[in-house]
Amino acid sequence: MNVTLIILSSFVGGAIIGFIIYHFTLGKKQAGTQQQELDNTQAELDRYKTAVNNHFTSSAALMEQVTSSYQALYRHMEYQSQELLSENKEADVNLLSETVINKNSSVHNKKEDHND
- 115 in a structural domain: no
- 84 in a structural domain: yes
- 70 in a structural domain: yes
pLDDT at 70: 92
- 77 in a structural domain: yes
CA distance 17 to 21: 6
The percent of residues above 90 in pLDDT, for the chain, comes to 34
Angle 69-71-74 from CA coordinates, rounded to 5°: 110
Q: What length is written for the chain?
A: 116
Name the residue among 108, 88, 87, 86 with its Cα closest to residue 96. Answer: 88
Question: Burial of 84 by CB count in 10 Å (0-12 exposed, 13-18 middle, 19+ buried)?
Answer: exposed
- 71 in a structural domain: yes
Residues 28-65 have pLDDT tens digits of 677 778 888 999 999 999 999 999 999 999 999 999 99
Domain count, the chain: 1
- 34 in a structural domain: no
CA distance 49 to 65: 24
CA atoms within 13 A on the CB side of 23: 6
- Domain range for 72 is 60-88
pLDDT at 2: 78
- 3 in a structural domain: no
- 103 in a structural domain: no
First CA to last CA distance, the chain: 136
pTM exceeds 0.85 for this model: no
